[in-house]
Each structure stands twice: as structure tokens, then as C-alpha cells.
Amino acid sequence: MKLPTCWSCDYKFKWKELIFFIEGRKKCPKCEEKQYTTTHSKWKMGMVFLPAWLCTFINLYLTISLFLICYYFMLYQVEFTDKQQPLY
């Protein structure tokens, strides 16, 4: 697994830079170009959280731990492009 890179300048994003990004948008700190998540990475990020949603019915404490673990791994599924893409 690797963290995403800028589509324009190949800047490698740091983990802490990806913790918060809104609506699949992020600005590259190096070249200032807008980065949008690809449709494929949106699906992969959704699939990472699927086990956590299923576990909500089993145990709340397990779910909180699983959400934190899933969120950590979700950041490695992000890919950027120069245009915003719809989910479908």
C-alpha cells in the first residue's frame, strides 16, 4: 500500500495531510492544483468500511476500534485526478 501522489507534480502526500479532506477534494501543498478522488478510490474506500458497518450489530466497542483501523487503511486507497468524477 502506498499513499497517493499529486496528478500534476507527483508530490507524495503525507498521512497527516490526508486525515481531513472534504467531498473528495484536496489541494496539493506543492503545486496548489486541486486533487479529486477517483470513482475507483471512492468505491474502495466504501468497501473498507463495509465490515465496520456489519459489526455495529455485534459489538459497539469492537466497531469503534474497527472504524479507527479502517479509517487508517482508507487513506491508502485514495487516488487523485485533475477533474471531479461522479460516484456513478
pLDDT band of 28, cuts 50, 70, 90: very high
User: N- to C-terminal Cα distance for the chain?
Assistant: 25
pLDDT (0 to 100) of residue 9: 94
pLDDT in tens, 39-51: 898 888 888 888 8
Cα 55 to its chain centre, rounded Å, is: 21
**How is the chain split into domains, by residue range?**
15-78
**What is the mean predicted confidence (pLDDT) over 20-48?**
86
pLDDT digits (tens, 9 = 90+) for 54-88: 776 777 777 788 888 988 888 888 888 898 888 77
Least Cα distance to 40 among 10, 9, 83, 77 occurs for: 77
Residue with the bigger pLDDT between 6 and 55: it is 6
